[in-house]
Amino acid sequence: MMHRLGALDISAVIGKGEFWRLFTALFLHEDLVHLGFNLFALYIIGPPLEKTLGAIRFAVCYLISGIGSTIGVVALTQLKILRPAELIGASGCVMGIVGVWAGFLLRHRDGWQARQRLLNILLIIAIQVLFDIFTPQVSTSAHLSGLITGFAIGLAMQPKQHSF
């Protein structure tokens, strides 16, 4: 069922040119618990960044981070670092937002509370890595690919206003 709806299937992306799967997989979830975890994480870390960047730039960061996460998984699978697997979920997007925060705060560390927020973001990353280690059904590669993509975006971002 998930495959028909657009799950990330590396063989379909590479072999059949179904590049839309890089995007659609981000909106599919196994169940309400899976969706709930992603929504809760986004609810906690998203609003302050959205306030800082603006809604449209936040949404663009979210989507580009997610696509970066799926492209990373495809690349690592093609390099035979990962075994082929179908993936779904928005956690690469969410980790991308964490990465945007990290890159943004590192670049703008002179801002009000920036250093404390950066330490909080590093704690979130550490907790996620531990969760990934002990939860084999999650894609650590998607999380890290989203995080790295988001970090690169965050380094380039300017606040919509200078108070953050």
Active site residues: 91, 143
Residues whose CB falls within 8 Å of the CB of residue 87, separated by 6 or more in sequence, listed in order: 7, 8, 25, 70, 73, 139, 142
Q: What single string gives the DSSP state of each residue in 33-70?
A: HHHHHHHHHHHHHHHHHHHHH-HHHHHHHHHHHHHHHH
Provide the residue count of the chain.
164
Q: Are 153 and 53 in contact (CB under 8 A)?
A: no
